[in-house]
Amino acid sequence: MTWLIWRQHRTEVVVLGLLVGMFGVVLLALGTQAHDLFPGGPARCAGEARVTDACTASFRRLDDEYGYVENLLAAFYLVPVVIGAFLGAPLLARELEDGTWQLAWTQAVPRMRWLAAKLAALAGVTVALTGMFTAVLTWFRQPFDAWEGRFQYDAFDLQGLVPVAYALFAFGAATAAGAVLRRSLPAFGVAFGAFLAARMSVALVARPAYATPLTTREPVPAGGAKDQAGSVPGFADWTIERGYADATGRRLSSAEYSELEAAADQAGTNLNQFLHARGVQRFGVYHPADRFWTFQLVEAALFVAVAAVLTGVVVWRVRRRMI
Amino acid sequence: MTAAGFALRTDGVGKRYRKGWALRDCTLALPAGGVIALVGPNGAGKTTLLRLAVGLLAPSTGTVEVLGHDVTASTPHTLSRIGFLAQDHPLYKRFTVAEMLRFGRACNLRFDQGLAERRLAKLGIPLDRRTGTLSGGQQAQVALALALAKRPDLLVLDEPVASLDPLARHEFMQVLMGAVAEGDVTVLFSSHVVHELERVCDHLVVLNQGRVTLTGDIDTLLAEHRVLVGPRTSTDLDRAGTVVEAVHSDRHTTLLVRDGAIPAAPGWQTQPVALEDLVLAYLRRPSEPGAAVAAEVAS
């Protein structure tokens, strides 16, 4: 079976391997240079220490010289779906398209064993390729993370455990779509659409709710100093919502805030002093940075669970001989 | 294999797809040994029945037993005793012929690689060619060599020659019949072509609109059926339901009857029936009383 699986899927595996290898080498080369901007490692510049002059200079150079790479990383959102769906779509669909399922399942290897071997091997390749790529990307982003935290959409979604879980989800979706649609290309398309829909809705709606966010409230300082070091939520925390509340803690709508601004203007006083005098507070709703791994685990578990359900559908259809 | 054993036994087998029943109440007992033809028009349910026989499909009702084993269990042992050649003889198009043989070796408990290589060499099919670049006839031969290399006890072929040109068709049947003569294999194949069946087959199953309308040993069927020709009449045709088909011309009535050897009424001539005419008569017959669509199929 090992030989057969390799022979049937070697094109996909080799092409994906080359792509991952190519991007990986480029990221390693650029990442080494970016890391060299931080003698002693980028972690030393994270948090409070980032205000030191050396760190500020390093971050400025990082932004100047490698900021464009960081912007390009957004394209790597699609790496998990390309890997997973590319390997999953033909698993059953190509056999059904070419009629070779009748050949494959009338040899002495029972179909369930055939399916188990294929699913295990190709899911394994999916995990290995996505895992390697994610490891390189996670390392590459270390200097950027020290600057921006790991909770932003272009950080959280590209590193840690979740990309592998996304890839397994895409693999499961493509395999199941292939079993139902019996065609590779439409199966790939369906998996792609399902991936985008699931990723967007989870990131925007579900992810903020993995834990109860913390709320901080502090009076508007009369002096008007902004963003002083140690403010909460900090740079690495994930801010869900920010705004102003009145003395009783009731949140102000943007209209109400504009009225206050206009009133301060009319009175000719400094806005901060005006707000301070009225007991207006600044509030922030956020997830602290140390929840990163909890959130990674929750989101990875979510996608792996859906992948397992989709695989279950495939197994059920093949077992019931609905194909 | 025991001579008394059955290659394929089905009991009340039905298969329902979303569109409706493809096969209903199919009860068959096909003896091991020899060649069995499954005949019927397109859409009669032949492919469904064959896929059920090799375990590719599970029946909606009833049981399917191949060589004494429930085929839906799909054990390696049962699977290794069945060879299957699907319609249009699918192969992995990007595999070379040698890789197809390696596939057979990798996926089977017993696989006679030497036998397959000898067969292909005799036909002049190079092992290093991709199967997708071979002609239709050569692809069919590769698929057949692959199935025969399993040394199956039951070889099932779905419309094996339907897509082949006359020459390739002849060559294919020659190789197939050669294999039957050499080994202890039961062959079950489907066809919508009815001529030449008599020459190659021992047993016949006629399938029409998802139902078995005739099954039996060909010699016995031919002995049981007769053509009676007599003066035109429209009465007296219901004698014990043995009239398969009645054709009336201006002055004569021609009856195909299944009556063993009951003497014909005075004034009636008796003739033996040709296998092709027998099959056609059963195909024209409504598969159940009141099935008006049967006429459409026969036309």
Q: Stretch B7-24: mean pLDDT, rounded? A: 92
- Asked whether residue A224 carries a pLDDT value surpassing 60, the answer given is no
A6-24 burial, b at 16+ Cβ within 10 Å, e below that, comes to ebbbeebbeebbebbeebb
Longest dimension (CA), chain A: 89
Q: What is the pLDDT of residue A106?
A: 94
**For the segment A109-130, what is each residue's pLDDT rounded down to a tens digit?**
999 999 999 999 999 999 999 9
Cα(A170)–Cα(A190) distance, integer angstroms: 10
Q: What is the pLDDT of residue A78?
A: 93
Which chain A residues contact residue B188 at CB under 8 A?
none
Q: What is the pLDDT of residue A232?
A: 66
Q: Stretch A89-93: mean pLDDT, rounded? A: 97
Whether residues B79 and A108 touch (CB distance < 8 A) is answered with yes
**Which of B18, B74, B110 is the best residue to mutate to test the A interface, defined by the most A CB atoms within 10 Å of its own CB?**
B74
Pick from A3, A4, A103: which is nearest to B90 by CB? A103
Give the model's confidence band at B299: pLDDT under 50 very low, under 70 low, under 90 confident, else very high.
very low
Give the model's confidence band at B241: pLDDT under 50 very low, under 70 low, under 90 confident, else very high.
low
Whether residues B56 and A100 touch (CB distance < 8 A) is answered with no
Pick from A102, A112, A321: which is nearest to B84 by CB? A102
Between chain A and chain B, the number of residue pairs with CB atoms below 8 A apart is: 73
- Show the tokens assigned to B297: 């199929």
Q: From the CA of A197, how many Å to the nearest CA of chain B? A: 30
Asked if residues B273 and B30 have their Cβ atoms less than 8 Å apart, the reply is no
Q: What is the pLDDT of residue A181?
A: 96
Question: Which residues lie below 8 Å from residue A118, measured CB to CB, with a gap of 6+?
Answer: A5, A91
Q: What is the pLDDT of residue A133?
A: 95
Selected residue with higher pLDDT from B68 and A44: B68
**For the segment B125-183, what is each residue's pLDDT rounded down to a tens digit?**
999 999 999 999 999 999 999 999 999 999 999 999 988 898 999 999 999 999 888 87
Report the alpha-carbon angle A196-A93-A117, nearest 5. Answer: 95
**For the segment A58-89, what is each residue's pLDDT rounded down to a tens digit?**
888 888 888 888 888 888 999 999 999 999 99
Cα(A113)–Cα(A115) distance, integer angstroms: 5
Describe the strand order of the beta sheet including B225-231 as a list of residue ranges: B243-248, B252-258, B225-231, B269-272
Q: Strands B211-217 and B252-258: what pairing?
A: unpaired
Which chain B residues contact residue A118 at CB under 8 A?
none
- The residues facing A217 across adjacent strands are A283
**Please, what is the end-to-end C-alpha distance for chain B in angstroms?**
42
Per-residue H/E/C for chain B: CCCCCEEEEEEEEEEEECCEEEEEEEEEEEECCCEEEEECCCCCCHHHHHHHHCCCCCCCEEEEEECCEEHHHCCHHHHHCEEEECCCCCCCCCCEHHHHHHHHHHCCCCCCHHHHHHHHHHCCCCCCCEHHHCCHHHHHHHHHHHHHHCCCCEEEECCCCCCCCHHHHHHHHHHHHHHHHHCCCEEEEEECCCCCHHHHCCEEEEEECCEEEEEEEHHHHHHHEEEEEEECCCCCCCHHHCEEEEEECCCEEEEEEECCCCCCCCCCEEEECCHHHHHHHHHHCCCCCCCCCHHHHHC
Taking CA atoms, what residue in B is nearest to A99? B90
Q: From the CA of A107, how many Å to the nearest CA of chain B? A: 6
Q: What does each C-alpha distance from A48 to A44, A228, A229, A230, B75 come to in angstroms? A: 9, 11, 7, 7, 66
- Asked whether residue B2 carries a pLDDT value surpassing 50, the answer given is no
Position B125, amino acid: I
Q: To the nearest whole number, what is the mean pLDDT of chain A?
A: 89
Question: Which residues lie below 8 Å from residue A5, measured CB to CB, with a gap of 6+?
Answer: A117, A118, A121, A122
Give the model's confidence band at A134: pLDDT under 50 very low, under 70 low, under 90 confident, else very high.
very high
Q: From the CA of A111, how many Å to the nearest CA of chain B? A: 8
Q: Taking an 8 Å Cβ-Cβ cutoff, which residues of chain B contact chain A?
A: 51, 54-58, 72, 74-77, 79-80, 82-84, 86-88, 90-93, 95, 99, 102-104, 106-109, 143, 146, 150
Q: Residue A58 is inside which H or E element, if any?
A: helix A53-72
- Asked whether residue A135 carries a pLDDT value surpassing 70, the answer given is yes
Q: What is the pLDDT of residue B3?
A: 43
Q: Taking an 8 Å Cβ-Cβ cutoff, which residues of chain A contact chain B?
A: 1, 3-4, 7-8, 98-112, 320-321
- Show the tokens assigned to B1: 């294999």
- Show the tokens assigned to B219: 């010699």
pTM across the whole model: 0.89
Asked if residues B79 and B156 have their Cβ atoms less than 8 Å apart, the reply is no
Q: What is the pLDDT of residue B288?
A: 52
Whether residues B86 and A99 touch (CB distance < 8 A) is answered with yes
Give the model's confidence band at B207: pLDDT under 50 very low, under 70 low, under 90 confident, else very high.
very high
- Asked whether residue B212 carries a pLDDT value surpassing 50, the answer given is yes
Q: From the CA of A16, how many Å to the nearest CA of chain B? A: 19
Which chain A residues contact residue B103 at CB under 8 A?
4, 7, 107
Question: Which residues lie below 8 Å from residue B84, measured CB to CB, with a gap of 6+?
Answer: A102, A103, A106, B50, B54, B56, B147, B155, B156, B157, B158
Cα(A276)–Cα(B210) distance, integer angstroms: 87
CB burial of residue B192 (10 Å; 0-12, 13-18, 19+): middle
CB atoms within 10 A of CB B183: 13
Q: What is the pLDDT of residue B246?
A: 84
Nearest to B86 by CA among B64, B53, B108, B128: B53
Which chain B residues contact residue A116 at CB under 8 A?
none
- Asked whether residue A236 carries a pLDDT value surpassing 90, the answer given is no
Which chain B residues contact residue A90 at CB under 8 A?
none
Whether residues A4 and B82 touch (CB distance < 8 A) is answered with no
Give the model's confidence band at B237: pLDDT under 50 very low, under 70 low, under 90 confident, else very high.
low
Q: What is the pLDDT of residue A298?
A: 97
- Show the tokens assigned to B242: 């043995």
Cα(A172)–Cα(B190) distance, integer angstroms: 37
Q: What is the pLDDT of residue B289?
A: 44
- CB half-sphere exposure, B162, CA atoms < 13 A: 19
Task: Answer positive or negative: Cα dihedral of A77, A82, A84, A89.
Answer: positive
Residue count (chain A): 323
Give me the torsion for CA of A49, A53, A59, A64, rounded to 10°.
170
Nearest to A144 by CA among A204, A80, A61: A61
Whether residues A110 and B93 touch (CB distance < 8 A) is answered with no
Cα(A258)–Cα(A254) distance, integer angstroms: 6
Nearest to B119 by CA among B158, B89, B150: B150
CB atoms within 10 A of CB A198: 19
Q: What is the pLDDT of residue B26?
A: 93
Cα(A148)–Cα(B211) distance, integer angstroms: 72
- Asked whether residue B78 carries a pLDDT value surpassing 60, the answer given is yes
Nearest to A37 by CA among A138, A152, A147, A159: A147
**For the segment A4-44, what is each residue's pLDDT rounded down to a tens digit?**
999 999 999 999 999 999 999 999 999 999 888 887 778 77
Q: To the nearest whole number, what is the mean pLDDT of chain B?
A: 86
Q: From the CA of A123, how many Å to the nearest CA of chain B? A: 21
Whether residues B79 and A104 touch (CB distance < 8 A) is answered with no
**Please, what is the end-to-end C-alpha distance for chain A in angstroms?**
21
Q: From the CA of A3, how many Å to the nearest CA of chain B? A: 8
ipTM value for the complex = 0.87
Pick from B51, B58, B75: which is nearest to A110 by CB? B75
Give the model's confidence band at B262: pLDDT under 50 very low, under 70 low, under 90 confident, else very high.
low
Q: What is the pLDDT of residue A73?
A: 86
Q: Stretch A284-290: mean pLDDT, rounded? A: 90
The angle that helices A111-140 and A162-181 make with each other, rounded to 10 degrees, is: 150
Question: Which residues lie below 8 Å from residue A72, measured CB to CB, with a gap of 6+?
Answer: none
Q: What is the pLDDT of residue A63?
A: 86
Give the model's confidence band at B123: pLDDT under 50 very low, under 70 low, under 90 confident, else very high.
very high
Cα(B10)–Cα(A316) distance, integer angstroms: 25
Cα(A251)–Cα(A248) distance, integer angstroms: 9
